[in-house]
């Protein structure tokens, strides 16, 4: 076969392959990023870090799931939770996972309806039976659900012997172990995780009050409407239930 004839036959095939490669490249380039802000402070199992100091937990799995459903690439952005409002404003994050209805910052953001519930418990050293918080030294983790549930309740704080707050989870429970406080207030799932990571025994009791209500927050109305729809779909196909059960040991999906 003459070389010229062979080349002419190959040309359409090469052109087709080049077109397919171009289409694949365009599809890859067309997939945007969804920057998902999560707390840099550990509060397992909602959010924590693995051995490689990478964020993991319910918030990360939820963020990845939402991004995939929206056709975006998830980019997990750990942020100091006290800077979450600024992170939305300056574009560091498009979506915040971990907000509560109690947080005042949610008033300046576009928020979803509640999608997840939580429970605050009081944790004491093993053997504690009274769980009388009045007059006691009570500690919470800064920027945690317990911090927002009780930290701005002036009557509650006035009833305590001392109100203490710690920057991190490890410092919080180290204070309890060292006798620097009598009780720690935290999410029941966090208490369960910490109990498995220490040789110190703990006693746990539920606190009074309504369940915590978690919401998602963002800046763009269009994005948050899409997120709202996906949360409902995750309830319908039970993906939310599966994620909740995996990390919390029970279904806390609230849709």
pLDDT along the chain (255 residues), means of 10: 49 56 50 92 89 91 98 96 93 96 79 96 93 97 94 95 95 96 96 86 90 95 98 98 96 95
pLDDT at residue 129, rounded to an integer: 87
The DSSP result for the chain, as a single string, is --HHHHHHHHHHHHHHHHHHHHHHHHHHHH--EEEEEEESS-BTTTBEE-TTS-EESHHHHHHHHHHHHTT-EEEEEEE-GGGHHHHHHTTS-SEEEEEETT-GGGGGSEEPPP-EEE-EEEEEETT------TTSEEEEETTSHHHHHHTT-HHHHHTSSEEEEESSHHHHHHHHHTTS-SEEEEEHHHHHHHHHT-SS-EEEEEPSSPPEEEEEEES-HHHHHHHHHHHHHHHHTTHHHHHHHHHHSS--B--
pLDDT at residue 27, as a whole number: 47
Do residues 141 and 193 touch, judged by C-beta distance below 8 A?
no
Q: Which domains does the chain have, with CATH numbers?
A: 31-117+213-248 (3.40.190.10), 120-206 (3.40.190.10)
Provide the whole-model pTM: 0.82
Task: Give the position of tokens 């927050």.
Answer: 217
Return the sign of the alpha-carbon dihedral for residues 49, 100, 117, 235. negative
């Amino acid at each position: 076969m003459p070389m010229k004839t062979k080349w002419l036959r190959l040309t359409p095939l090469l052109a087709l392959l080049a077109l397919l490669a171009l289409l694949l490249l365009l599809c890859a380039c067309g997939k945007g990023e969804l920057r998902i802000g999560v707390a840099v402070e550990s509060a397992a199992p909602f959010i924590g870090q693995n051995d490689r100091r990478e964020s993991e937990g319910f918030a990360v799995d939820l963020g990845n799931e939402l991004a995939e459903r929206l056709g975006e690439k998830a980019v997990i952005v750990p942020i100091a939770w006290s800077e979450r409002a600024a992170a939305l404003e300056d574009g560091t994050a498009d979506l915040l996972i971990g907000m509560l209805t109690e947080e005042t910052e949610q008033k300046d953001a576009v928020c979803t309806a509640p999608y997840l519930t939580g429970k605050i418990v009081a944790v004491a050293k093993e053997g504690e039976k009274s769980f009388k918080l009045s007059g006691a030294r009570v500690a919470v983790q800064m920027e945690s659900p317990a911090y927002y549930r009780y930290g701005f309740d002036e009557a509650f704080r006035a009833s305590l012997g001392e109100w203490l707050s710690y920057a991190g989870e490890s410092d919080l429970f180290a204070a309890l172990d060292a006798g620097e406080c009598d009780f720690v207030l935290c999410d029941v799932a966090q208490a369960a995780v910490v109990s498995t990571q220490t040789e110190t025994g703990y006693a746990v009791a539920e606190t009074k009050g309504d369940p915590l209500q978690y919401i998602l927050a963002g800046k763009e109305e269009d994005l948050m409407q899409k997120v709202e729809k996906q949360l409902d779909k995750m309830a319908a196909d039970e993906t939310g239930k599966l994620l909740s059960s995996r990390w919390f040991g029970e279904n806390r999906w609230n849709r």
